Structures are given as structure tokens and as C-alpha cells.
Structure 1
Amino acid sequence: MHFLCLHGAGTNSKIFEFQIAALRYELGGDHTYDFVEGVVAQDRAPGIENLATSEDLCFAYYKPHSTESFKKAVDDLEKYIKTDGPFDGIIAFSQGVSLACAILIDELRHRESGLRCGIFFSGRPPFIDAGTPPTRYSHTTPSKTREGTINIPTVHIWGAEDKIEPGQALALSRLCSSDNRYEYIHGGGHEVPGSRDKEGLIESVNVIRCMLTQLGRN
């Protein structure tokens, strides 16, 4: 499996690569990972002090509450997938999840992307901080988006103590088909379970493997 990897706001690709390093190791297999960095300068996110040096620059994919910035990020991601893909799936965290799902929730964009699955950590629905949906192809709006709109296999992993995006990961999961949806709630906060949380790490890997097994049967 070849995965496109999107970090959260206020971090960078190097940090996200480290955040999912233990998970990638435990997952094993012949998977490959392509980490894409945001281009919007952003203050450092809280809780990553041990993952970044004082010289590390941090980024986001779009400016919060800016429809124009969000639209550009979606268009740029679509172009990246076309030129650097194909990708089998997306692994994303927080803001990266919102961006990824803007592709998946649009029927034509999704079909053209060729993406077959999504693995989302501390996710949020698309358009939540960007006003109207930035799509050329559909008339989907947040109020009209139905449960199960995203019908590819997805994994949703979030923390029970998430104070940054409380409730958003659950809201996102409900936009995905219950027939193809896998969920795991760990005991932490707005984070990716890593080597310091052995239980959370192993359970995250297990639920991802369940999704990949279903994908292999389809």
C-alpha cells in the first residue's frame, strides 16, 4: 500500500513522520509513505515540544476560517495526487484529515483521486473552519452532507481526553459508511498513540489491520 500522509496544523512533515514512526513499524508490511508539507506558516502546535527543535518551522495546509485558503489547499492536494500518485490511501492527523476528506466527500474528486481508504487521527469534518465547500464539481454543503457520504474503508482513532477538537472526530466518523468504518478511542488527547502508549499503539495497529483486511477482500 502506498500512503499519502498529511500532518496537523502547527507541525510539519518531519514531525508527523516521527509521530507515526512506531505505528508504521508495528504495522510492518511493504507499505510506503509520502509525507506532504503544508505551505502556510503557522505557530507551533501545543504538545509537540519534544518533537521539534527551536529552529524547526511549522506549517498548516490552509488558514483557519478562510474559504479561499481552504479551496487552494484542496486544489493543490488534488494536483499533487494526480502528479505524484497514485496513492492507495491517506493517513492524516487533525487539519490534514479535514483537507483529505474534502477530496473524499466530493464524488468526482474522489473518483479521480483513486484513493481506496483513509486512516484518520484526531480528525475533523471538512469545511468546519472554511465557510462554504471549495469544490468545482458538486453542491455538497455541510448541512446537506449525509451520514455515510464517504463509503471507502476508513479508520478513525482519537483520544477520549481530546480538548482541542472535542467531538469533531466522532462527527467525522459519522460521515463515513458504517459498513466500512473502524473506530478506536484511546485514553490520551489530541495525539497519535506512540511508543509511550503501548496499549493505544497496538490497538491502533489492530484496527488498521482490520480495515486493510476488508480492503483486501473487496
Structure 2
Amino acid sequence: MKILCLHGGNQNAQTFQKQLDAAIKVIGNSETAALFDFIDAPIRCAASLAEGRAVCNFFDNITIAEISEAHQWLTSKINAGGPYDGVIGFSQGATLVSTYLLYRQWYSHEESPLFRFAVFISGSIPLEVLKELGVPVPRAAEHVVEEAELRRRADLGPLPSHVSLARQAMFNSDDCFGLNLNKVPLELKIRIPTVHIWGANDPGFPASIHLAGLCDPYIRKTYTHNDAHEVPQDMEDAQQLGQLVLWCMQRSIWPGHLRAQ
């Protein structure tokens, strides 16, 4: 299987490869063959280097215009380097993938999915994108995201009230941190196997739960590690990450799932 790997903001492909190295070794020890394609984002950050290489962004601001430009870039990369069986995205890379999948399902629903599975690490789905696609976004959902962003900027952990509501949000389709998932059209639910990983100490974890809620619950797995907004590096977490990627890979080729596509 060929898997596209998209790093987070202010990072590069080399950094992301090192972050996933332990998980990739777990996959390599299995009977499932995989080729991982790590690529740099198109926007170089000014005067910023990581280990001798420029760090990059897929977009500088989460606006419809910049996300659209990033989608065009991703399409060209897929056409040049693909086809890909799956994709792993961290943070900004995960946001790029989630929005790309939703736009394609809404505007090109007659076409086959470009990826058979997706792994989101500290992923999110911008509420502005949902609005642009016609999804009702209550003020309560916007308030949750705003509170989380304030905590992030202040370098604080998650809001206690968010932590207390996390489990309820995962299983309450009427109120997933303010979003009513029952009012989201089926065409805007990601229907390929997905894995969602986030940190218990990441103040932005409600956005990851929003994204998980927009994915088919029957072919979805979630995992919470004990760190913040990062690719987990603890050996136990890396083992879990590797096993979850393997599950996603294997689930994507189950005969039942292939017929559903």
C-alpha cells in the first residue's frame, strides 16, 4: 500500500518521518507491505529552519480561499505521485485532508474516493468550511472552538468543562461540542475507514472530536494519548499508533467495505 504523509504546520517532511518512525517500524514488522511518501508543504516559513531544512505550511490562515489553494496543490501532488491507498495527516496536514475529503464528497460525489483510508493525528475540521458547505453551525460550537483557541494561545491545557464533556460529545450525535451531527448530510460524512488520535492535554481536542463525529462510526477508531498537540512519541503510544494504522489499512480492503464504495 502507498500512503501519503502530510506534516503539521511549521514542520517539514523529514520532521514528520522521524515522528512516525517508531509506528512505521510496527507496521514494517507486520505482513502488510507499505510505502510511506512524506512530502513538504508548499509554503516556506520565512527565516525558519528545522534540522537544516526549511519548515513549511499548507496554508498560513484558515480561510476558504487559502484552503482552496491548498486543495489545488494537493490535487496536483496526488496526480503526480499517486495513486495513494491512504493518507496520514498531523495537525495542519490533517485539516488539509479532512477538508479535501469533504469538498470532494460534496462536489464530486459520483467519483470514487481518492483515499481508501485516513489517519488523523490532532485533526480538525474548520467550522468555516462546514458553514461554506451548508452545514448548520450553532453558536455553541463556535464558542467551544474559540475557548479552545484562547487556551492554546495562553499555553494552557484543556478547559475543564471540555474535558468533562468529552465522552458525552463522542456519543451524542445531537450535541457533539455544539454540533448536531444528525443535521449533517450523508454526503458530508467521511465514509472511508478512519483513525483519530489526539492528546488529552491538547486544548484543541474538541475539534478532533468534531472531525471524528463527521466520520462513519462503524469504520472509525479513536485513541487518546497523555500528551498535548503532538505526534505521540512514548513507546506504548507509538505501538498503538502503528496498530491503528494497520487496522485502518486492513479494514480498507475488507470485501464488505469495497462493495460499499
Q: Calculate the TM-score normalised by the size of structure 2.
A: 0.69
Aligned AA (1:178): P
Aligned AA (1:22): A
Partner of 1:136: none
Partner of 2:35: 32
Q: Is the 8 A contact 2:86 2:249 kept in 1?
A: no
Partner of 2:116: 116
1:205 corresponds, among 235, 242, 248, to 242
C-alpha RMSD of the superposition: 2.6
Identity %: 28
Partner of 1:183: 222
Q: Does 1:20 align with 2:57?
A: no
- Shift of residue 145 of structure 1? 4.2
Partner of 1:162: 202
- Shift of residue 64 of structure 1? 1.2
Q: Secondary structure at the match of 1:176?
A: coil
Q: How does 1:40-59 map to 2 (within 5 A)?
A: 40-42=43-45, 52-53=50-51, 55-59=52-56
Q: Does 1:150 align with 2:187?
A: no
Going from structure 1 to structure 2, the CA distance change for 1:209 and 1:110 (only over 3 Å counts) comes to farther
Going from structure 1 to structure 2, the CA distance change for 1:30 and 1:202 (only over 3 Å counts) comes to same
- Shift of residue 18 of structure 1? 0.9
Question: In 2, distance between residues paired with 1:5 and 1:89?
Answer: 9
Q: How does 1:124-139 map to 2 (within 5 A)?
A: 124-125=124-125, 127-128=126-127, 133=132
Going from structure 1 to structure 2, the CA distance change for 1:110 and 1:88 (only over 3 Å counts) comes to farther
Question: In 2, distance between residues paired with 1:129 and 1:72?
Answer: 15
Question: In 2, distance between residues paired with 1:179 and 1:2?
Answer: 24
Partner of 1:137: none
- Shift of residue 66 of structure 1? 3.1
Deviates more, 1:141-150 or 1:207-216: 141-150
Going from structure 1 to structure 2, the CA distance change for 1:44 and 1:4 (only over 3 Å counts) comes to farther
- Shift of residue 114 of structure 1? 2.6
Going from structure 1 to structure 2, the CA distance change for 1:72 and 1:205 (only over 3 Å counts) comes to same
- Which runs of 5 or more residues in structure 2 are unaligned? 137-182, 256-261
Question: In 1, distance between residues paired with 2:200 and 2:78?
Answer: 32
Aligned AA (1:169): S
Aligned AA (2:36): Y
Question: In 2, distance between residues paired with 1:131 and 1:38?
Answer: 23
Q: Calculate the TM-score normalised by the size of structure 1.
A: 0.82
Aligned AA (1:159): G
Q: Secondary structure at the match of 1:111?
A: coil
Going from structure 1 to structure 2, the CA distance change for 1:18 and 1:95 (only over 3 Å counts) comes to same
Aligned AA (1:92): G
Question: In 2, distance between residues paired with 1:146 and 1:43?
Answer: 40
Going from structure 1 to structure 2, the CA distance change for 1:145 and 1:94 (only over 3 Å counts) comes to farther
Going from structure 1 to structure 2, the CA distance change for 1:38 and 1:145 (only over 3 Å counts) comes to farther
